[in-house]
Structure 1
Amino acid sequence: MKKLVLTGAGGRLGSYLREPLSKMCDELVSTDWVEDIDTLYPGESYVKADLGSLEQMEAVLEDADMVVHFGAIGDEAAWDAILHSNIIGAYNVWEAAARKGLRRVVYASSIHAVGMYPKTQRIDTEVPHRPDTYYGLAKCFAEDLGSLYWDKKGMESVHLRILSAAQVNNPRSLGTWLSYDDLIHLVERAITTPITGFSIVYGVSNNDRATVDNHKASFLGYQPKDNAEQFSKAVLAEATPADPTDPGQMCQGGPFASVEIGFSGTASMNIVQDKKEI
């Protein structure tokens, strides 16, 4: 592959994707809205760009084969902020990709597009949307956008409904964990699968306690290796008793299901910011 573009390259997940993506192409263009991302990998360049600008997205995607779109506000936030980066930003990526003739968009969707389903219901990739926040609603928009651009323009997209790509330190994460190695494998399969059309796949490791079902996305060849059960004894020993009346504990979206719309869903999640350093 000649050129890949990675949005959100300055973020935690982007930091783990940059090196493997740089090895999959002649040129990796990493982009974000921070001033720089310090040391670059061989074949990688950095461009500061605003997802809210269609013109800037067109410039970044010039001559690219595919875009891996991880750029967005990664939490629940006020409507105007979500609208700019996560909704208008998604439109700009898809529209720029279509105008520049890209074959495929690989998109970091989220469990929060279906976050209000109960964890007692094992959900597959074809359940109707049921967002838990503005953030989840934006993921629904981007999934439907990908479907529209496939049907109308023939541009493929793979939507990775990521559950919890962070260290396992709470009971919910025993079922939702996506290890960084499995994240990389998932993105690689989304890029290299010959034909994807419009596809949805859950981004989750091979956890015994997973509550989502990927059998309808098996053609991607995603075979996660890691299992959060190795952490269960320590995590459960520290956990307080579960509250079955709390949507944050009963629903797929975790704390996002219980917060007021517009307020942070990650504030109570104790996410370790273990960003990869070169």
Structure 2
Amino acid sequence: MKKIVLTGAAGRLGSYLREPLSKMCDTLLSTDIVDDIGTLYEGETFVQADLAQMDEIKPLLEGADMVVHFGAIVDEAPFEQLWGPNFVGSYNIWEAGYRHGVRRIVYASSIHAVGMYPRREFIGTDVAHRPDGFYGLAKCFTEDLGRMYWEKRGLESVHLRILSAAQVNNPRALGTWLSYDDLIQLVTRAIDTPTVGFTVAYGVSNNDRCPVDNANASFLGYRPKDNAEEFAEKVLAEAPEADPTDPAQMCHGGPFASVDLGSSGLAQMNVVDDRKKS
């Protein structure tokens, strides 16, 4: 490919995607709202831009083959805060992509689009949306946006419902973990699969306790290799007593399912910022 655009390049997941994406194309255009992302990889350029501003986003997509859209506020927050980057930002990416003839958009969706389903239900990619907050609602909006742009305008997209791409330090993560190596494989398969139409796939590793079913997305060829079970003994020994009345423990969305609308879900979690340094 000649050009890939990566949004959210300064984020934790974006930091692990930049190098492999730079090797898949002549030019990787990385973008984020911050003013610097560190040393650039060979073939990578960086442009500061606000997802909510079409006049800043549209020029970046000119000549792009694909967009890997990971830019957003990545937490539950008041609707007004999420509106620009998470709702309008998605529209701007899809509309700019359509205007410039982009072939495909790979989107960082989330388990929070279906976060209120009970964990005892082994859910597939075809279940109805059931968001656990405004953040999850933005993911539902963008999945529906992607389906509409495919069916009405022929713009392909793959929506990766990431469960928890973070260090395994709690019982829920024994099922939801997505390792960084598996993240890279998943994004790579979403890019190099010849045709995808509109596709939803769960972003999760090969965990023994995986709570979701990726069978409908098996054609992507994503075959995760890592398994969180290697952390199980330590995590379970240190975990507090389980509470079956706690939505954070009983719903797919974890802590996001238990906090009030607009209140941070990440504040209830111990997510380690181990982003890759370039």
Report the residue type matching 2:4 in the other structure.
Answer: L
Render the CA deviation track for 1:87-130: whole Å, top value 9, x for unaligned: 00000000000000000000000000000000000000000000
In the other structure, the counterpart of 1:62 is 62
Render the CA deviation track for 1:10-41: whole Å, top value 9, x for unaligned: 00000000000000000000000001111000
Whether 2:264 is the aligned partner of 1:264: answer yes
Render the CA deviation track for 1:149-177: whole Å, top value 9, x for unaligned: 00000000000000000000000000000
In the other structure, the counterpart of 2:241 is 241
Whether 2:49 is the aligned partner of 1:11: answer no
Report the residue type matching 2:161 in the other structure.
Answer: R
In the other structure, the counterpart of 1:184 is 184
Q: How does 1:1-278 map to 2 (within 5 A)?
A: 1-278=1-278
Distance 2:55 2:67 in 1: 16
Render the CA deviation track for 1:165-218: whole Å, top value 9, x for unaligned: 000000000000000000000000000000000000000000000100000101
Where do 5+ consecutive residues of structure 2 fail to align?
none
Report the residue type matching 1:12 in the other structure.
Answer: R
Q: Runs of 4+ in structure 1 displaced over 4 angstroms? A: none
TM-score (structure 1 length as normaliser) = 1.00
Aligned length: 278
CA RMSD of aligned residues (A): 0.4
Shift of the alpha carbon at 1:55? 1.6
TM-score (structure 2 length as normaliser) = 1.00
Distance 1:246 1:77 in 2: 21
Where do 5+ consecutive residues of structure 1 fail to align?
none
Distance 2:259 2:224 in 1: 31
Shift of the alpha carbon at 1:81? 1.1
Corresponding residue SS for 2:123: coil
Render the CA deviation track for 1:238-268: whole Å, top value 9, x for unaligned: 0011110010100000000000000000101
